Amino acid sequence: MKLIVGLGNPGAKYAQNRHNIGFMAVDRIAADHGFSPWRAKFQGQIAEGRFGSEKVVLLKPETFMNLSGQSVGDAMRYLKLTPEDVIVFHDEIDLAPGKVRLKTGGGHAGHNGLRSIHGHIGPDYDRVRLGVGHPGHKDAVPGYVLRDFAKADQDWLDDELRGISDGIAHLVAGERPKFLNAVALRVAPPRSSTSASKPEKPAPAAAPPKDTRNAMQKLVDRFR
């Protein structure tokens, strides 16, 4: 069994914030893959489903971001899982918008949701880092992540969420490169091989045949 956690803050006020991209990711997975309706449990909302023989529980903590670990810890203990069974989707200011990276273990880099999870289950869980970009100065970070995505972000954001949904079964199966490839195919699809090619240059005209007549023949031909 896998516990897949999307981080964010509950309520309509925060729904489109950059900080809520984790919620957005698990919402897309649940909608695209026929998961059960969301219901309240573990101080959050859960939805259940399967990828092949692997049961998966999706979790959106409703403790607010800074206390996310309470919900994650409750779910992990109740489901009798280890940190290695947990995958957390979260916003990452140190990655450019549209970039997705995977990480296992390590520090929380100042992310308050991860800091809380570390405190409850330790650091040895998988994270999917979803780039939202950096405002340029650390003092501007709180306001930046708690603002909605701009209209200009909607295209890459939708592509990224679709790619996550496309590849989630690979991630659950431990096939990390295949997951990242599925995201890349949505965010930066290869150029179509059917695109119009440049017109070919016309072949040079053939040289005229060499004139082999002698002077007398040329004079006769001229007055014919």
Q: Give exposure, 198-220, as e/b (b: 16+ Cβ within 10 Å).
A: eeeeeeeeeeeeeeeeeeeeeee
The radius of gyration of the chain from alpha carbons, rounded to an integer in Å, stands at 29
Q: Output the average pLDDT for the chain.
A: 91
Annotated catalytic residue 120 = no
Supply the angle between the helices 68-78 and 112-121 in degrees, to the nearest 10: 40
* pLDDT score for 207: 61
Instruction: Give me the pLDDT at residue 192, please.
Output: 58
Residue 53's SS3 state is coil
- Tally Cβ neighbours within 10 Å of residue 27: 22
Q: Predicted confidence band at 208 (pLDDT cuts at 50, 70, 90)? A: low
| Strand partners for 47 | 58
pLDDT band at 190 (very low <50, low <70, confident <90, very high): confident
* pLDDT tops 70 at residue 172: yes
Domain segments of the chain: what residues?
A: 2-187
Cβ(75)–Cβ(113) under 8 Å? no
Structurally, at CATH architecture level, domain 2-187 sits in 3-Layer(aba) Sandwich (3.40)
Q: Is the pLDDT of residue 171 over 80?
A: yes
φ, ψ of residue 131 in degrees (nearest 5): -65, 135
Output the pLDDT for position 188. 86
Between these two residues, 214 and 154, which has the higher pLDDT value? Answer: 154
CA dist 96 and 93 (Å) reads: 7
* CA gap 106, 125 in Å, rounded: 9
In this prediction, residues 75-90 reach a mean pLDDT of: 98
In tens, the pLDDT along 16-62 reads 999 999 999 999 999 999 999 999 999 999 999 999 999 999 999 99
Catalytic choice (19, 90, 111, 118): 19
- Please name which of 12, 66, 77 lies closest in space to residue 42, comparing C-alpha atoms: 77
Q: What is the mean pLDDT of residues 142-155?
A: 95
What value does the mean pLDDT take over residues 108-130?
A: 96
Are the CB atoms for 164 and 29 separated by under 8 Å? yes
Q: Do residues 38 and 45 make contact, with C-beta atoms less than 8 angstroms apart?
A: yes
Classified as helix, coil or strand, 105 is: coil
115 touches 108 (CB < 8 A): yes
Residue 216's pLDDT band (cuts 50, 70, 90): low
Is the pLDDT confidence value at 198 over 60?
A: no
CA dihedral 122, 126, 132, 138 (to 10 degrees): 30
Residue 204 has φ and ψ, to the nearest 5°, of -60, 145
Cα–chain-centroid distance for residue 37? 23
pLDDT band at 215 (very low <50, low <70, confident <90, very high): low
Give the sign of the dihedral formed by CA 63, CA 141, CA 186, CA 12. Answer: positive
In this prediction, residue 191 carries a pLDDT of: 64
Find how far residue 89's CA is from the centre of its chain.
Answer: 10
CB 49 within 8 A of CB 18: no
- In this prediction, residue 10 carries a pLDDT of 97
Q: What's the confidence (pLDDT) of residue 189? A: 78
